[in-house]
Structure 1
Amino acid sequence: MCDEELILFEFLEADSEENSMRRRRLDARAQFDPFDLEDNEFIKRYRLSKELVVGLCDEIRPAMKAPRRSTDISVETKVLTALSFYATGSYQRPVGDISAHSMAQQTVSSVIAQVTACIDSVEMRKKYITFPKSNDERNEIRVRFYHKFGIPGVVGCIDCTQIAIVRPNRNEERYFCRKHYHSLNVQLICDADMQIISVDASFGGATHDSFIWNDHPIKQHLENLQESTWLLGDSGYPLRKYLMTPIVNAIPNTPESHYTDLHVRARNVIERTIGLLKARFRCLLVHRVLHYKPRVAASIVNACVILHNICNRANLPAPQLSSREIMEESQMQLGVAFEDQPNTSSNNQALQQGVATRNQLILRLWEARRS
């Protein structure tokens, strides 16, 4: 056999193997319907219930590429493939090899990108991630915080969390965090029921929490409100009339200590929210590492937040992180105190307003305790 004939033979043989693999994948998808799984197993695998998956498919179907041939992948299979990736954090080949949505690795990558873009659309973000803009909406959240934690005026709790990503090709220094890995520093705000009402995944891991907050539109919105309402933040944030921080090293059995105890207990809801988000969607865990460019990784974070809120509203069972995973997350997150801005008249005035507001709140809580 001459060289030309040998090359042609090898090409035809490889093409035959590829076609055979494609047929096996089609047969695998046809023989197993994930919706035949028991409800608990379905939620364990995909995090959403069957009803929620059907609803999600209907919502994003207009934006998805419609199947034209019988061999094309359905919207449902694409969504389930992406959900499996979000839920497990496994790399694409294991996800693609699951019999329910068996497909090539390159196809899995394309499917995840397509579904993520559809979930992380402007319309979906506006529908499922909503910061309270009206007084009635703020009152509803404030009442929930007060009934649960005994602190008045709270409209949300704020914190940042590191989401590990692969080393980016451009502007690498922006993503190299103080724990010596590449990441996004994601700002989250939640309500008293662990519903995420704001997410910003646009900053690299080298960015300080307070810097992200200082340029955020919600900061300006709260500054302009003529009412007693505030977020709860840790010592990584500046004390302001709209952002209450704890008092470090408060003397026990004092009004300041009582305030800080209540503050810490209430603010813990954002830490639990972050833990639940990562337990539901383990692709966000620090040891999983998102193998995507920062922009796509940020879109995956947004999609997971939307899905978290969908699960939360439906009161779906909450998965748990293992003790090892909790320890890993804690060790790889940042705990950096607030780096104050240069002393200016406006900064000093804002700080003094924050001190005055916090002192009034401390006195109010102390008097409520004694009554």
Structure 2
Amino acid sequence: MAAPTRIIQHLILMDYLISDSDDETISRHKYMMSAMALHIQKANRPSVPKINTYMGVIDDMILPENVDDFKTHYRLSRDMFDCLLERVRDDLIKDFRGGRCPINPDKQLLVFLNYLGNQQSMRECAHIFGLSKSTVHSIVTSVTEAIVKLQSQVIRWPDADRQREIAREVEDSVGIPGVVGFIDGTHIRLASAPGGEREYYNRKKFPSIQLQAVVDNNLMITNAYCGWPGCTHDARVLRNSELFSKAENGTLFLQDHFSFS
């Protein structure tokens, strides 16, 4: 799209004025010319196609006959989605300060789950939800922070009564007494090594960070420790974790109870 004729005329006029003005006027005119040039650049920028009706598709997913579609797309049931939304809603409500209306918390959570659950780029998520890529980035950051705040409410080490219960159920199932958890490590794949550091490349030759997790007999995570570079040995990760320190101090397990690796 060609720049408006009047804008071009203004630019020519200001260029003329700059040639015979004091320093303050020249500075002001240069600022105005930069603003005009930016306006022209935006006017000539091609529009990015977006889907503006996707939220209606989601409304169809919650119908009884389509309930499985929601879980297929977002990796959790609609009931679990509603439960999670209730916990993070307050952190996702933004004050309206003019301009475009804030995005509803439910849409923010859907964008977040779509980005994580389908391995889509932010550009693809923006296209689907009718948003800009920068808005998707902001949403993913905000929802991540809101969910991380829930960590202590969700990931909790079992108390004494729960440890006895877990140990009893494990012994009834596999015959091993005293087990209150199962510990192992895994790798979270990274798109690239931070700073190009070779230590992030694991034995399978891809960049990652280590995740150490403990689960109970129902596969519920009771402890998680993350952040070491991919090449780090599991034993070193364990020795540097709070889990190890508390276990060594005798403040984590009941007498004759332990985690199984």
Could you tell me which amino acid in structure 2 is paired with residue 162 of structure 1?
H
> What corresponds to 2:167 in structure 1?
142
In the alignment, the residues of structure 1 paired with residue 113 and residue 85 of structure 2 have an alpha-carbon distance, to the nearest angstrom, of: 12
Question: 1:119-159 CA distances to partner (integer Å, 9 max, x unpaired)?
Answer: 011xx111111111x22111121122122222111111111
- How far does residue 222 in structure 1 lie from its aligned partner after superposition? 2.7
In the alignment, which residue of structure 2 is the partner of 1:13?
A: 43
Determine the C-alpha separation between the residues in 2 that align with 1:9 and 1:213: 56
Aligned-residue Cα RMSD (Å) equals 2.8
Instruction: From the superposition, tell whether residues 41 and 174 of structure 1 become closer, same or farther in structure 2 (CA, over 3 Å).
Output: same
1:108 aligned partner: 136
Q: Could you tell me which residue of structure 2 aligns to residue 211 of structure 1?
A: 236
Aligned equivalents of 2:201 and 2:240: distance in 1?
Answer: 20
- Structure 2 counterpart of 1:247: none
| Distance in 1 (alpha carbons) for counterparts of 2:231 and 2:148 | 24
Q: CA deviation at 1:85?
A: 1.5
Letter in 1 for 2:208: S
Match of 2:197 among 160, 163, 172: 172
Change in Cα spacing, 1:34 to 1:226, as seen in structure 2 (3 Å) is closer
The TM-score, its normalising length taken from structure 2, stands at: 0.74
Kept in 1: contact 2:180–2:259 (CA 8 A): yes
Unaligned 5+ runs, structure 1: 234-371
| Residues 148, 192 of structure 1: 8 Å contact kept | no
2:73 to 42, 45, 65: 45
Query: Cα distance 1:9–1:202, how it changes in 2: closer, same or farther (>3 A)?
Result: closer
Q: Does 1:35 align with 2:59?
A: yes
Q: Secondary structure at the match of 2:255?
A: coil
CA deviations 1:57-94 (Å, max 9, x no partner) are 22112222426377321110110111112211222222
Aligned to 2:29: none
**Structure with more contact order per residue of length (Cα contacts < 8 Å, sep ≥ 6):** 1
Deviation track 1:295-327 (CA, whole Å, cap 9, x = no partner) reads: xxxxxxxxxxxxxxxxxxxxxxxxxxxxxxxxx
Counterpart residue identity of residue 62, structure 1: D
Q: How many residues align?
A: 222
Q: How does 1:269-288 map to 2 (within 5 A)?
A: none
The answer (yes or no) to whether the contact 1:67–1:73 under 8 Å persists in 2 is no
Please give the residue correspondences for 1:231-310 in structure 2 after superposition, counting only pairs within 5 Å: 231-233=259-261
Indicate whether 1:76 and 2:106 are aligned. yes
Change (3 A) 1:230 1:113: same
Task: Indicate conservation of the 8 Å contact 2:212/2:226, yes or no.
Answer: yes
Q: Which residue of 2 aligns with 1:296?
A: none
Q: Which residue of the partner structure matches residue 156 of structure 1?
A: 181
Q: Percent identity?
A: 22
Cα drift, residue 199 of structure 1: 1.2
What is the correspondence of 1:331-370 to structure 2 with a 5 Å cutoff? none
Q: CA deviation at 1:181?
A: 2.0
| Residue correspondence of structure 1 range 57-72 to structure 2 within 5 A | 57-66=85-94, 68=96, 71-72=101-102
Query: Is the partner of 2:214 in helix, strand or coil?
Result: strand
> What is the rounded CA distance, in whole Å, between the counterparts of 1:130 and 1:227 in structure 2?
19
In 1, the alpha carbon distance for the partners of 2:148 and 2:39 equals 46
Q: 1:9 to 1:47 in 2, by over 3 A?
A: closer
> Residue 131 of structure 1 aligns with which residue?
157
Greater fraction of residues in strand:
2
C-alpha distance in 1, partners of 2:239/2:39?
A: 64
CA contact (8 A) 2:193 2:208 kept: no
Letter in 2 for 1:61: R
- What's the secondary structure of 1:56's corresponding residue? helix
Deviations 1:257-312 (A, max 9, x none): xxxxxxxxxxxxxxxxxxxxxxxxxxxxxxxxxxxxxxxxxxxxxxxxxxxxxxxx
Which of 115, 119, 134 is residue 85 of structure 1 equivalent to? 115
- Residue 221 of structure 2 corresponds to 196
- Structure 2 unmatched runs, 5+: 13-35
Q: Which one of the candidate residues 124, 127, 136 is aligned to 1:94? A: 124
CA contact (8 A) 1:177 1:206 kept: yes
